[in-house]
A and B are shown apart, each in its own frame.
Chain A
C-alpha cells in the first residue's frame, strides 16, 4: 500500500524563526494540500497545490508540489505564537480523496 511520511513529527522554535516541514510518498499524487489544526477544532485549509513543480504562497506560508509528484514541503517564515498547531499534508490522487499525513506539531516559544 501507499506510504505517506511527514516530518518532522514535532518542532520547537523561537518566535521569529523560519520553519520547514515536508511530506514524501511512495505513490504519485495529483494534488497536494496543507491543513492546520488547532486544539478542539477541525483542520483548516492553508494552501492547495494542483501542478507538479508549483510554488504557492499565502502570506508567510510557502508550499511547493514536488516535480516527481511524490513530495511537498511547507515553509513558514518569521513564526509568531498563533502559528502553534498541528500541520498536516493531505495529498489526493485520482479518486479525488484526501490522505492525511501524521502531522507536524509546531510549538513557538516566546
Chain B
C-alpha cells in the first residue's frame, strides 16, 4: 500500500523552511527520501532505518518515528536548488517478503 505524502505541493521563498511528511499504514523497516528535478533522474537523499534515528545533510534532515509509522523531511533555509519533487519510499516485510513502495511525491517550488 502506497504511503501518503503531505503536502502535495508547496511554494516557498528562498530562505524559508519546509517540512514534508510521509506516513504509512504498515510497520516500517526503513524510509528512503529522493528528490527529482523535472526531466532528470531521482537523486537519493538519505535512508532512515527503524530505531527512530534522525539524519541530516547540510540543511536537509529527516526523522523516522517507527511507532507512528511516519517520517518527515526538513528543509531549512531553502535554496533555489531545492526545487523539485520529493518522494519517500517505504520498506516493510510481510509473510511474502520485502515490499518497497514510493509515495506519490511532493512538489516543492522555491522562488527567489
Tell me, yes or no, whether A binds B.
no
Give the interface of A toward B (CB within 8 A).
none
